[in-house]
Amino acid sequence: MSYPNVNTLWAETLVEELVAGGVEAVCVSPGSRSTPLTVACAQHPDLRVYSHLDERASAFFALGRAKRTGEPTPLVCTSGTAAANFHPAVIEAAQSGVPLLLLTADRPPELTDSGANQTIDQEKLYGDAVRWYRDMPEPEAEPRKVRMLRTTAARALSAATGADPGPVHLNCRFRKPLEPTPVADDDPAGVPDDWAGGDRLAAAGRDGPFVRTAQGAGRLPAADIDRVASAVDAADRGLVVAGPTDAGPGPDALEALASATGFPVLADPLSNARFGAHAERIQVCGGYDAYLGTGAVADWPDPEVVLRFGASPTSKPLRQYLRDADCRQFVVDPSGRWTEATFTASDLLVADPDGTATAVADRVTDPAGADWTDRFERAERAHWETVADGLAEQYWEGGVLADVARLAPDPATLFVSNSMPVRDLDRFGRPRGAALTVLGNRGASGIDGITSTALGAGSATDDPLVIVTGDLAYYHDMNGLLALGRCDVDATIVLVDNDGGGIFHMLPIERHETFESQFKTPHGLDFEPTGELYDLDFRRVDDRESFTDAFAASVGREGTQVLSVAFDAASSHDRRDGLQQRVVERL
């Protein structure tokens, strides 16, 4: 194989190894210094290139794809602030444990800190947020270095995935010519045909990846499984808490665990345990946010043992309940990153959630008493009846989330924004047998990349894509809407427009004079022109009937529809409180 110059050799080899390692798509943003990588990606026959004009949106899009697939979608950008724009998504990926591979182009080392144009210090730009960083040497047609390059591709993919997935950063330095311009063999940038000498592996790699990597899921020794099972057997009252994670126990393992222990499963909406066929066979609870922490459960005894998966739950009442429960709490955390912000774990198990759940289920002999599970069943019934009554009386923000959970097609990918949408799904999204993959950005809980992350997830699946976003989150990532057309993704976007940050009504600052101007920040923006700008169908819906009709019509249709529903944030908040009060009274 002959190459016009050393940058072409380098970039083509890197891209070829990434594809051999399983990469199917990349997100590329335009720029000059990244030309070798961009051309190599664009010309690779087996690679889908998603071209993004905005690097911040690009990185969130790649994050969303990885959330949906579990595999990284590499990102390519030019030098300078372009690379800095990846940072918010890198932080989210680091904290929610999602693979990302950042290929930032850079100038040769002598130009760092020299005042050279579009040159910043990109060394370890993302700090400790990456699982692995490598400042790549300058391209050279030298066999050992090219083997290093091939190995680095395998290592980068391996470091981004595995038991502790996350972002990996390769800073790729190139000197001119950046284009695939032929350069004479005796030029330092030239590549003679026999550059590899006899090193066939350097020149052609292997059939498949240069290094095949395998990472075993952590299995606990039998004695540790026995420890968990004995605690379960000794308890009359226990809970399985499925927290937010893309890597919890699978539905079969969860069902086995719930059946063997008899414990109710408190399923966070982002746990992928709330929805799915198993929810019709085991006790999956989704109303806890409304009744835990209220007078209705004040006389309940504490659980004696809690088995937890995933990160800390979205629900504050549930977090407080776990914090106050004086009991044994096993947290299964395959990453070993101690994502346990309630500081209540008595036992941390660094192990594969699926295998651990199955092994514990196999070993347990004495399930919980019916007294305990009945309490949860009564509370759930009171809650869901109240939600249904409330919906019949009046349409409001929480009702939208209740309807979305109820009406989303089976299967569907549902992306919920931070702030109230995820909280309202938590409280009002009733568990159901449909295969809903629910995703959100709860690693760092930013409202900045919601649309892009959701569209990235949608690009990786044939499921209908439903996005529920607040107005500030929609505003924050309007640039992300460009991906609808450029990346060929369709979505139903439910825009809950309460003219500002409704969530701040939940805080004491609500009564301070700076509340409106500095916290709620009503903007008065009319988002309808986004319809024309991004070629999507924007419509306002005013009541429940129009919403459910428009929603049903949209999820079955091509193209993207934004269903904008306007609410008053203060009354929505009163409504949440009012319904909760009624649950307490019912109980």
Distance between CA 343 and CA 280 in Å, rounded? Answer: 32
Three-state DSSP state, 94: helix
Q: Is 445 in the site for ligand TPP (CB under 6 A)?
A: yes
Helix (H) or strand (E) holding 22: none
Comparing CB distances to Mg ion, the nearer of 265 and 473 is 473
Q: According to CB under 5 A, which one of 498, 554, 561, 580 is a site residue for Mg ion?
A: 498
With contacts defined by CB under 6 A, name the span among 29-37, 45-53, 426-434, 501-509 that binds ligand TPP: 501-509
With contacts defined by CB under 6 A, name the span among 45-53, 161-169, 210-218, 440-448 that binds ligand TPP: 440-448
Comparing CB distances to Mg ion, the nearer of 71 and 471 is 471
Q: Is 503 in the site for ligand TPP (CB under 6 A)?
A: yes
Binding mask 471-490 for ligand TPP (x = CB under 6 A): xxx-----------------
Q: Is 327 in the site for ligand TPP (CB under 6 A)?
A: no
Q: According to CB under 6 A, which one of 447, 483, 487, 584 is a site residue for ligand TPP?
A: 447
CB of 517 vs ligand TPP, minimal distance in Å = 14
Residue pointed to by tokens 């100038």 = 107
With contacts defined by CB under 6 A, name the span among 150-158, 176-184, 495-503, 541-549 that binds ligand TPP: 495-503
Comparing CB distances to Mg ion, the nearer of 262 and 470 is 470
Distance between CA 530 and CA 535 in Å, rounded? Answer: 8
Q: Which residue is nearest to ligand TPP (CB)?
A: 470
Residue pointed to by tokens 């169908």 = 537
With contacts defined by CB under 6 A, name the span among 150-158, 168-176, 181-189, 443-451 that binds ligand TPP: 443-451
The residues near 339 (Cβ < 8 Å, ≥ 6 apart) are: 311, 312, 333
Q: Is 429 in the site for ligand TPP (CB under 6 A)?
A: no
Q: Please check whether residue 470 is in contact with residue 445, taking contact to mean a CB–CB distance below 8 angstroms.
A: no
With contacts defined by CB under 6 A, name the span among 94-102, 263-271, 381-389, 441-449 that binds ligand TPP: 441-449
The residues near 436 (Cβ < 8 Å, ≥ 6 apart) are: 274, 275, 276, 405, 408, 410, 411, 412, 413, 414
Q: Is 470 in the site for Mg ion (CB under 5 A)?
A: yes
Distance between CA 535 and CA 549 in Å, rounded? Answer: 22
Helix (H) or strand (E) holding 260: helix 251-261
Comparing CB distances to Mg ion, the nearer of 222 and 570 is 570
Three-state DSSP state, 168: strand
Q: Is 466 in the site for ligand TPP (CB under 6 A)?
A: no
Q: According to CB under 5 A, which one of 3, 502, 520, 551 is a site residue for Mg ion?
A: 502
Q: Is 471 in the site for Mg ion (CB under 5 A)?
A: yes
Q: Is 420 in the site for ligand TPP (CB under 6 A)?
A: yes
| Distance from the Cα of residue 175 to its chain's centroid | 36
DSSP states of 489-557 as a string? Answer: ---EEEEEE-SS-GGGGGSGGGGSTTIIIIII-------THHHHHTT-EEEEE-SHHHHHHHHHHHHTS
Distance between CA 129 and CA 262 in Å, rounded? Answer: 39
By the criterion CB under 6 A, which residues form the site for ligand TPP? 417-420, 445-448, 470-473, 498, 501-503, 569
By the criterion CB under 5 A, which residues form the site for Mg ion? 470-471, 498, 502
